[in-house]
Amino acid sequence: MTSVSSASPGLGGLRDVKNRLFGPLPDVAEEAGYEPDHPKRVGFFTDTSVCIGCKACEVACKEWNTLPMDDSHGLKDALGDISGMSYDNTGQLGANSWRHVAFIEQSRAVDLPMPTFGRPGDDRHDSGPSPATAGDDVSLANAQQSSVLNAEALSEFDPQTGQTGADKQIRWLMSSDVCKHCTHAGCLDVCPTGALFRTEFGTVVVQGDICNGCGYCVAACPYGVIDQRKDDGRVFKCTMCYDRLTDGLQPACASACPTQSIQFGDLDELQERADARLATLKAQGVETARLYGRDENDGVGGDGAFFLLLDEPEVYGLPPDPVVTTRDLPAMWKAAGKAAVMMIGVAVTAVLGSRRR
């Protein structure tokens, strides 16, 4: 088989037309034109059940890839300031944030029979003139801070056991998000210059010296990963540390992760490990555990970077059912062709239907 330019996956000839745009693909690198002796497809398995939200991955990624801040002065990131919503001030993946640790604080009502005798804070919470709920929370927090030496009040600060407002339970979800390195990558499909390409490892990487900043990939990514660096004009995203992979090292984020929440390896091995982990968690009663992006029959043909989540994907800012936009491209070209024929038909009719001067 002759080597086909990896920059033009759409021109690989008509052999094996099936699943070029959609559906499972057993070997993405071969489909992109690599010789059969290419390395195995690698990936990330991010097990959020052991993520502690330390953001070591974010830091390691920024350091290794020398990612700047988001403004040209190097002072501010995309959010500009503190988000005010949670411990997450990175906010999203972007041109300069290739790992993003999502942090979600959740509460739920506890319907267990609780002891009804008063604890410090309870009476204060109910009394007082503040009408707004938010005001209540603030006054409660102030009250707790003023009695911070009180052991009982201290226990209320523990997010796993604290029961603010007497009948609420709090939990934290943390998840390190990253480019999914899709089997059918929308960004790669729509790139008009071939700057985005499939590597021999099955990952998707931007070539900075080719990208002309057209921005099509930004609009095409169903996960909202890739973005344009405003002062530079070009787009940037996770490369799965392509430079490190070629030297036999694992990506910076996976190396830095202290809890093995981010696991790097051959994709088929990671998938097995993830299935086992899911089974273990289910056996332990964690019924909300689920894998995200692991199924190769999904809308993007499966992700190269997939996740174990503890709640619905959208809670973490992930789309619940992403589909690669080019799945529908043949139908779109057909519509465009018909519309062009329609134009000629209307124009011909208009001219022939008019009297000559």
Partner 1 sequence: MTGGITSPGAGWRQADGGPATQRTGKKRRRGGGRGRGEVAMVDDVEFTSYYGRQIVKTPVWKSPDVPLYLFLGGAAGSSSILAAIADLTDRPKLTRVSRYTAGVGAILSVVALVHDLGRPERFLHMLRVLKPTSPLSVGTYILSPFSAAAGATAAVELLGWFPRLKRFGGVVSAIFGGPLATYTGVLLANTAVPSWHAAYKQLPYVFGASGMAAGGGISMIFVPVDEAGPARKMAVAGAAIELAVVHKVENDHGIVSEPFHEGRPGKLMQAAKTCTAAGAGLTVVAGRTRLGAIASGTLLAAGSLLTRFGVFEAGIASTKDPKYVVIPQRERLAAGTNEHASTITR
Contacts of partner 1 in 58-117 (CB under 8 A): 83-86, 91-92, 102, 104-110, 112
Cβ(96)–Cβ(238) under 8 Å? Answer: no
Cβ(238)–Cβ(226) under 8 Å? Answer: no
Q: How far apart are CA 355 and CA 345, in angstroms?
A: 18
Choices 58-66, 245-253, 256-264, 292-300 (CB under 8 A): range interacting with partner 1: 292-300
The shares of helix, strand and coil residues in the chain, as percent rounded to the nearest 5, are 30, 15, 55
Compare residues 67 and 291 and give the one whose CB is closer to partner 1.
291
**Tokens 């979800």 — which residue?**
173
Q: What's the number of CA atoms in the CB half-sphere (13 Å) around residue 148?
A: 5
Compare residues 19 and 147 and give the one whose CB is closer to partner 1.
19
Sign (positive or negative) of CA dihedral 141, 143, 145, 148: negative
Give min distance, CB of 200 to partner 1, in A.
Answer: 19
Q: Which of residues 301-340 bind partner 1 (CB under 8 A)?
A: 303, 310-323, 325-326, 328-329, 331-333, 335-340
Read off the tokens for 93: 């993946």
Q: Phi-psi category of 166—alpha, beta or left, where left has phi over 0 and alpha has psi -120 to 50?
A: left
Could you give phi then psi for residue 265, rounded to 5 degrees? 170, -170
Give min distance, CB of 251 to partner 1, in A.
Answer: 23
Give the distance, in angstroms, between the CA of residue 13 and the centroid of all CA atoms in the same chain. 32
Compare residues 56 and 104 and give the one whose CB is closer to partner 1.
104
Give min distance, CB of 92 to partner 1, in A.
Answer: 6
For residue 250, which amino acid is it? Answer: Q
Return the ∠ at Cα 321 (arms to 316 and 324), rounded to 5°: 115
| Site for partner 1 contains 124 (CB under 8 A) | no
Choices 34-42, 66-74, 223-231, 248-256 (CB under 8 A): range interacting with partner 1: 223-231
Give the distance, in angstroms, between the CA of residue 91 and the centroid of all CA atoms in the same chain. 12
Give min distance, CB of 24 to partner 1, in A.
Answer: 9
Of 145, 259, 280, 284, which lies in the binding site for partner 1, with binding defined by CB under 8 A?
A: 284
| Site for partner 1 contains 51 (CB under 8 A) | no
* Residue 24: count of CB within 10 angstroms of its CB: 13
| Site for partner 1 contains 130 (CB under 8 A) | no
| Site for partner 1 contains 219 (CB under 8 A) | yes
Compare residues 234 and 244 and give the one whose CB is closer to partner 1.
234
Q: Which of residues 149-208 bind partner 1 (CB under 8 A)?
A: 160-161, 169-171, 186, 189-195
Give min distance, CB of 237 to partner 1, in A.
Answer: 11
Compare residues 47 and 252 and give the one whose CB is closer to partner 1.
47
